[in-house]
A and B are shown apart, each in its own frame.
Chain A
């Protein structure tokens, strides 16, 4: 090496060529580069939105997700109370769990660096282990791209103008193809089973339909509901309110799918062949049942299967109770109902028709002749509207109208009918009146959204040309000289917030009094039970509180031999609750008589 190295001396000066150029700098303070927008980092779960359906856990091919109880989460209707916990040692960040999350509560965040000396902490609960993750979400599912199928297969139905011409069924129901498609949307989380009063095995029979095993679906339905087709047509279907898909889309059409399945068996004989129940040898015990409504029929069916000698006493010509006489035929045709009841008769249920207890036979006789009695009398007696002129000719309760029409009569309604009430019975009364050729107005005290009737029924009525007048309070029925309905006087109401935190109350607006000419007035503001058939001594032996019979959890009254169920017992007063009551009573009666 030379002593004088010219290269070593000059090279540093080459840096001078950078002189005058814009400097390359980094911002201060230093900003970390953002991760990609859809980066799949550690999980975050919004614990409030999550319903614990477990779909994430099911889809995970690495079995990395467990559903666990958390201290701060309580299970309730529509929420299993469980939350996902991820084993990050197994997770491969495929994000399928996020894609199938029906509520969108589960997400992946931008966090991907996780260093800890404690290996066990890799087992972590999204949302609990990283509450701050909410502000750092990157990979999430949205309704358009999610793998969940949020749209319900549409139900074909008759056009409103066609419908009012006859009592033909308005719903045209699913074809096989449509039913399979709709059934395959179900994620089988079973949240629905909790709110079903009868706890039907919903995910199982829907899965059976999706797999093309309709016979198994019927068998599963008949495990605890002998009126599956009826429920398939008219159930209040609270199950659909808590469907996991309903959070961001349409609930699975649980009701229509049940109709599809049982509807595959077209006759009572086919039903018997498919259900092929195990009928036990007669055990010598006799059970009498008052009323062939859903609760009485259910009790009778399952008791008969267990070898009991069962007789139902029914006041009317046909079985079904309110389902037969209270539900219009365009919702539940008679053939369908009779098929289900004929099948029950074929396995040994005896029904004595036209036998009104208290008139054709005394309750005492039934009580003494049988080892146990089930009372399923329902709510038959309508409440009176409580306004002047109610006893006029042309003013009558909706249940009477429905009874007459369902018995084959065609009452003369005149050309303008006003229906008072906002429940399903009011809507039924209105739609039936439309079919009898009248113009129909529904008067309801509160707002449309407060109406207790099923929204599908309300829509159906509107499509058929029924006019709904909300916030309207009828005050008087005006009659002519022959005491015939001529007009109705009503007030408009405004909604006033309730101080006690209840729902808003309608308060009449002064001076809003109006008179509308009408030909008939139909009251539909509720019904109550009629206990006149029950002699004093029995009435005293069971407890009746505010019109309802008081029973224990086994549907047993204070008189151990008398069991009761249906509308006259439960608070929900719908067919599926009556069926649930009947099913519970079966177990209790069996225990009572066989132990």
Chain B
């Protein structure tokens, strides 16, 4: 068997494309496949690849915030120990009132990941059980992993400035002072903070 042959991977992609409507997929590289599905297909695709294609191991789940496009992208990372192939299942979810079906009956571990994503991105998993709080305590702000969450504002509001940091210098000021450069008003709004 040749090392670089991607036949096995391509076969899985073809199989999935033939099985599910609106599923697109490609072989990313040796031992890595990526498929994109609609959000309503999540549980059926996950169940199918687990039961029929050997992707019995759930490795990880994450979420990407496509702020400009108005989507969250959920990524389920699965592994087939038998074929030694990694499968990434991706689904886009509207950013507004983001909600998606719970899938923790397929892998119990998913519960933990879904709880984290719920807390950090504000994606609602319909039918999921588990404490609302995951890591954050008494959080009443926007979910902090969303890209429009302003970390610096939050930090400034919540944490006090410790003593001993008063001697901090601004690079721009240090240099303009050294050279005697006078920065006009029209320019200062473009200076680095």
Binding site for B on A (CB under 8 A): 52-54, 57-58, 61-63, 66-69, 75, 80-82, 85, 87, 89-90, 120, 123, 187-191, 193-194, 199, 201, 203-205, 207-208, 211, 213, 216, 219-220, 223
Contacts and interface: CB of A to CB of B under 8 A. Distances in A.
Contacts of B168: 66-68, 85
Interface string B139-178: 0000000000001100110010010110111111011101
B191 interface: yes
Nearest to B166: A66
Contact of B186 (A82, A189, A211, A216): A216
B187 A201 contact: yes
9 contacts: A57-B171, A67-B171, A85-B168, A189-B171, A194-B175, A199-B176, A205-B190, A219-B186, A223-B184
Contact of B169 (A69, A188, A189, A216): A69
Nearest to B188: A204
A223 B185 CA distance: 10
A75 B176 CA distance: 12
B192 interface: yes
A188 B179 contact: no
A229 to B, nearest CB: 18
Contacts of A219: 186
A190 B164 contact: no
B130 interface: no
Output the residue of A188, A190, A223 with the most chain B CB within 10 A.
A190
Given A123-B162, A194-B179, A203 B167 contact: no
Contacts of A216: 186, 190
Given A82-B169, A190-B191, A213-B190, 4 more contacts: A54-B192, A63-B156, A90-B159, A223-B184
Contact of A193 (B169, B175, B192): B175
A378 to B, nearest CB: 25
B162 A203 contact: no
Given A61-B155, A194-B179, A223 B187 contact: yes
A69 B193 CA distance: 18
B165 A201 contact: no
A80 B175 CA distance: 7
A286 B38 CA distance: 77
B180 interface: yes
Given A82-B171, A191-B175, A193-B176, A211 B165 contact: no
A61 B151 CA distance: 6
A193 B186 contact: no
A163 B149 CA distance: 53
A169 B21 CA distance: 57
Given A69-B167, A190-B175, A207 B186 contact: no
Nearest to B187: A204
A518 B15 CA distance: 76
A120 B156 contact: no
Contacts of B180: 199
Nearest to A191: B175
B156 to A, nearest CB: 7
Given A75-B174, A82-B174, A220-B190, A123 B164 contact: yes
Nearest to B181: A199
Given A90-B159, A123-B164, A190-B176, A68 B187 contact: no
Interface of B: 151-152, 155-156, 159, 162, 164-165, 167-172, 174-176, 178-181, 183-184, 186-188, 190-193
A444 B144 CA distance: 64
Contact of A87 (B165, B183, B184, B190): B165
Contacts of B165: 66, 85, 87, 123
A53 B186 CA distance: 23
B152 A61 contact: yes
A220 B181 contact: no
Contact of A194 (B178, B188, B193): B178
A216 B188 CA distance: 11
A220 B189 CA distance: 11
Contact of A220 (B152, B159, B167, B187): B187
A127 to B, nearest CB: 17
Nearest to A66: B168
Contacts of B184: 201, 220, 223
A204 B187 CA distance: 6
Contacts of B169: 66-69, 82
Counting from the closest, the 6 A-B pairs by CB-CB distance are A66-B168, A204-B187, A54-B171, A188-B192, A207-B190, A61-B151
Contacts of A207: 190-192
B174 A81 contact: yes
B160 to A, nearest CB: 11
Nearest to B180: A199
A479 B174 CA distance: 61
Contacts of A63: 152, 155-156
Contact of A203 (B170, B179, B192): B192
A69 B170 CA distance: 10
Nearest to A54: B171
Contacts of A90: 155, 159
Contacts of A52: 171
Contacts of B176: 190, 193, 199
Contacts of B183: 201, 204
Contacts of A205: 187, 190
Given A62-B155, A199-B180, A80 B171 contact: yes
Contacts of A67: 168-171, 174
A126 to B, nearest CB: 15
Contacts of A204: 183, 187-188, 190-191
A85 B167 CA distance: 11
Contacts of A68: 167-169
A559 to B, nearest CB: 25
Contacts of A199: 176, 179-181
A89 B162 contact: yes
A58 B172 CA distance: 12
A483 B179 CA distance: 54
A203 B192 CA distance: 8
Output the residue of B174, B190, B193 with the most chain A CB within 10 A.
B190
Contacts of B152: 61, 63
B186 to A, nearest CB: 5
A396 B145 CA distance: 70
A62 B190 contact: no
Contacts of A211: 190
B175 to A, nearest CB: 5
